[in-house]
Amino acid sequence: MSEPRLLVPGSCEPERFDEAAEPWSATTRFRPVATAGGVPLMDIVERFGTPAYVVDEADVRRRCRAFRAALPDADIRYAAKAFLCRAMATWIREEGLGLDVCSGGELAIARSVGFPAERIVFHGNAKTPHELAEAVDYGVGRIVVDNLAEVVRLAMLVPPGHRQKVLLRVIPDIEAGACAAIRTGGESQKFGLSIASGDAAAAVARVLRQPELRLAGLHCHLGSQIHTTEPYEQAARVMVEQLAAIRDTYGIVLPELDLGGGMGIAYLESEHGLTPDDYATTVTKAVVERSAALNLPVPRLTVEPGRAISGPAGLTLYRVIAVKRTLTRTFVAVDGGMSDNPRPSLYGARYTARLIGRRSAMAAREVTLVGHHCEAGDVIAESVPLPSDIRPGDVIAVPATGAYHHSMASTYNLTGRPPVIAVAEGAARVVVRREEIDDLLRRDVGL
């Protein structure tokens, strides 16, 4: 099958698709046919149907290695909440990264593939007693304490003769992130222990009184989709100052500093993600300089990229169901929508899209790409250029859907969640199967 040629006024189609071109994955190509991981995307459509998530294994691995190369002396923990399945956990393990989990379910996936417990960090602002018990039982490397009540609750679960390493999540009071819903470093958020209120200091004292716990260091997380290095620099300085304050108060030097994640990626061709090198240069310099100024040994850094590793590796394939033209807009409706991508309705996130499967000589025009759900907010992409002869049956690819799509998918309107298809070296395989109607009915026990 042939591929589209989008003729946008005032521009020409490039001779080749640059492998580094954002927001598509490193192995995505559009000539002579659209492929990812060496697999024709239309073959995936024909074999597995639509909608379908496609994950580029080579891209995931490449991004893991980029973070390791940029921060060779740091611990890199992949933030599982962005996207996790057994295949993803296996890739992360094989690439030598750790895992940041924030639920019993994410921990269960890690355990199912034998992920090394020491390389796991367990997060959460309201971990249940059962989740804490599972984390202690598996022997996870670090548990991040997020509230004062958790200190004693956790200590009671540690077996005699053992000590559980913990980090304290503190609030640096730095606002950063694409929108208010994904900013987590300020005093107005539910996460962390406040420095200003004294809760952070109180938590330090409580942990040090518990012989079952070992305070390894401090943790913070600013938010998500952060495209500049300045907030990270500020956070690094604040956190080093807190380490120095603990030394001055208790005479102990905590060896670890976890600065979280949140590095932004590109969703549109006009955007650029925050690179591991840029992040590493800024953060390392800030930590080293502030530590020197305070006569403090440089702590071992931990960073937790999630979206920055899995986001660009994913794309979603949809089938066009209908094209509707009103006096003011053209709607292109597809067979997925907010159940497989809730980010536009939740955060006002913007996406681009591309027609695959045939060429078009028609000029592009802006359309609104919408889903099939009974909801006015079911919009996938606003003002996206697609050929003017777009029609039912066509296939659309949407890039940068590897993070917070599968993990946040729902069964709204009792729509089954799409499969996840991994591609690598010319082969495609299902790593998460499609959720069928029978799966949904099986959970409904009836009267």
The secondary structure of residue 372, as a DSSP letter, is S
Give the separation between CA 192 and CA 203, rounded to whole angstroms: 11
Under 8 Å CB-to-CB from 353, ≥6 apart: which residues?
Answer: 369, 380, 381, 384, 386, 396, 397, 398
Tell me which residue of 228, 224, 124, 232 sits closest to 181, measured CA to CA.
224
The residues, any chain, with a CB within 8 Å of residue 199's CB and separated by 6 or more, are 148, 193
Closest CA to 430 of 29, 93, 53: 53
Answer yes or no: 85 catalytic. Answer: no
Task: Please list the residues that pair with 323 across neighbouring strands.
Answer: 332
Comparing CA positions, the residue from 216, 196, 278 lying closest to residue 286 is 278
Q: Which of 85, 102, 220, 374 is catalytic?
A: 374
CA dist 277 and 261 (Å) reads 14
Tokens in use for 439?
Answer: 């799966």
- Structure-token pair, residue 119: 């390389």
* Peptide bond just before 51 cis, omega within 30 deg: yes
Tokens encoding 357? 């499967």
**SS3 assignment, position 341:** coil
Alpha-carbon separation of residue 180 from 184, 288, 352, 394 (angstroms): 8, 31, 23, 36
- Cα torsion angle, 205, 211, 212, 217, sign: positive
Query: Which of 260, 290, 201, 220 has its CA nearest to residue 81?
Result: 260
Let me know: does 147 contact 207? Beta carbons within 8 Å: no
If residue 381 lies in a helix (H) or strand (E), which one and from where to where? strand 379-387
Please identify every residue annotated as catalytic. Answer: 374
